[in-house]
């Protein structure tokens, strides 16, 4: 992949945040695909469908800013700086993320950084893994008579951690399906917090790893046993955890 020369004398480029969906390239949107195909520069992540990058122009510059858990990563300030720098050089920049840019995707921070720098920025929403991964595993996150709400919550910060803004005991009582993203490492603490909040230990739960991909793996147990079951199955990120009666519908075995 070669870099395109800045178009000297042209006006500033723009930044488009594109949600790349949960992994299957068919779950990128029509508008997202068009933005990828038109971009001069694409800043991409680990969880983006690889096949979607083949839609890029041969002369587009593709920059991998993957943030792998615990590994080397490009920090958010550096990503913001790259978005702005390339747009100021007159390039149209796509920021391609897995899932949706605004569901724990830090899209809001990127929009604010662009606004501060005077760069035009827009958003093409994506299919969120929080809804689509359960769907492909046969779990509807809402279902008439079972669930009139779904809460999508980050497991990145464990319950009780000083940085946590989630009241897990209240969540246990809210009556919504609970979908946890980035919660493999903290799953036991999350299950414990929900149990302590009064959620029935027999509540059906599932952990779906590599959702929508050929390597998809689903582990099912009740809330009391889900952390042990996921651990025994060696579930590793990315994974989506669903807790609630909808998990027991068994639409797909």
Under the criterion CB under 8 A, does residue 206 sit at the interface with a copy of itself?
A: no
Q: What is the CA radius of gyration of the chain?
A: 20
Under the criterion CB under 8 A, does residue 157 sit at the interface with a copy of itself?
A: yes
Shortest distance (Å) from residue 222 CB to a copy of itself: 19
Q: Cα(first)–Cα(last) distance of the chain, in Å?
A: 42
CA 51 to chain centre: 17
Under the criterion CB under 8 A, does residue 39 sit at the interface with a copy of itself?
A: no
Residue 197 main-chain phi, psi, to 5 deg: -80, -5
Binder to a copy of itself among 5, 7, 26, 202 (CB under 8 A)? 26
For the question of residue 67 being annotated catalytic, the response is yes
Using CB atoms within 10 A of its CB, is residue 202 exposed (0-12), middle (13-18) or buried (19+)? exposed
Task: Looking at residues 6 to 25 of the shown chain, list those that interact with a copy of itself (rule: CB under 8 A).
Answer: 19, 21-22, 24-25
- Give the binding range for a copy of itself (CB under 8 A) out of 66-74, 82-90, 134-142, 215-223: 134-142
Under the criterion CB under 8 A, does residue 147 sit at the interface with a copy of itself?
A: yes
| Helix/strand/coil for 143 | strand
HEC sequence for 180-215: EECCCCCHHHHHHHHHHCCCCCCCEEEEEECCCCCC
Q: Please count the residues of this chain forming the interface with a copy of itself, following the rule CB under 8 A.
A: 67
Distance (Å, whole) CA 11 – CA 3: 19
Active-site residue identified among 92, 97, 182, 210: 182
For the question of residue 182 being annotated catalytic, the response is yes
Q: Please name which of 108, 101, 150 lies closest in space to residue 126, comparing C-alpha atoms.
A: 101
Under the criterion CB under 8 A, does residue 214 sit at the interface with a copy of itself?
A: no
177-181 vs 121-124, strand pairing mode: unpaired
Under the criterion CB under 8 A, does residue 74 sit at the interface with a copy of itself?
A: no
Nearer to a copy of itself, 10 or 51 (CB): 51
For the question of residue 88 being annotated catalytic, the response is no
Binder to a copy of itself among 15, 27, 41, 93 (CB under 8 A)? 27
| Helix/strand/coil for 53 | helix
Under the criterion CB under 8 A, does residue 67 sit at the interface with a copy of itself?
A: no
Active-site positions read 45, 67, 182
Binding site for a copy of itself (CB under 8 A): 19, 21-22, 24-31, 33-34, 100-104, 106-109, 111-112, 115, 123-128, 131-132, 134-136, 138, 140-144, 146-154, 156-157, 164-167, 170-176, 246, 249, 251
């Amino acid at each position: 992949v070669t870099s395109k020369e800045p178009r000297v004398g042209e006006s500033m480029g723009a930044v488009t945040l594109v949600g790349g969906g949960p992994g299957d390239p068919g779950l990128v949107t029509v508008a997202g695909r068009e933005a990828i195909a038109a971009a001069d520069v694409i800043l991409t992540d680990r969880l983006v469908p690889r096949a979607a990058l083949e839609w890029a122009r041969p002369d587009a510059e593709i920059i991998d800013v993957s943030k792998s858990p615990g590994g080397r990563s490009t920090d958010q300030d550096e990503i913001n700086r790259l978005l702005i720098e390339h747009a100021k050089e007159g390039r149209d920049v796509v920021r391609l993320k897995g899932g949706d840019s605004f569901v724990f995707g830090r899209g809001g921070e990127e929009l604010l950084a662009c606004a501060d720098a005077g760069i035009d920025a827009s958003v093409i929403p994506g299919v969120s893994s929080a809804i689509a991964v359960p769907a492909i595993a046969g779990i509807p996150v809402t279902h008439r008579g079972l669930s009139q709400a779904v809460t999508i919550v980050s497991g990145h910060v464990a319950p009780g951690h000083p940085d946590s803004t989630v009241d897990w005991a209240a969540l246990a009582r809210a009556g919504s399906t609970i979908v946890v993203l980035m919660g493999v490492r903290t799953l036991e603490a999350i299950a414990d917090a929900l149990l302590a909040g009064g959620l029935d230990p027999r509540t059906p739960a599932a952990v779906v790893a590599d959702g929508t991909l050929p390597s998809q793996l689903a582990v099912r147990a009740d809330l009391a046993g889900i952390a042990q079951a996921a651990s025994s199955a060696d579930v590793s990120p990315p994974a989506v955890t669903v807790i609630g009666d909808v998990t027991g519908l068994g639409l797909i075995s």
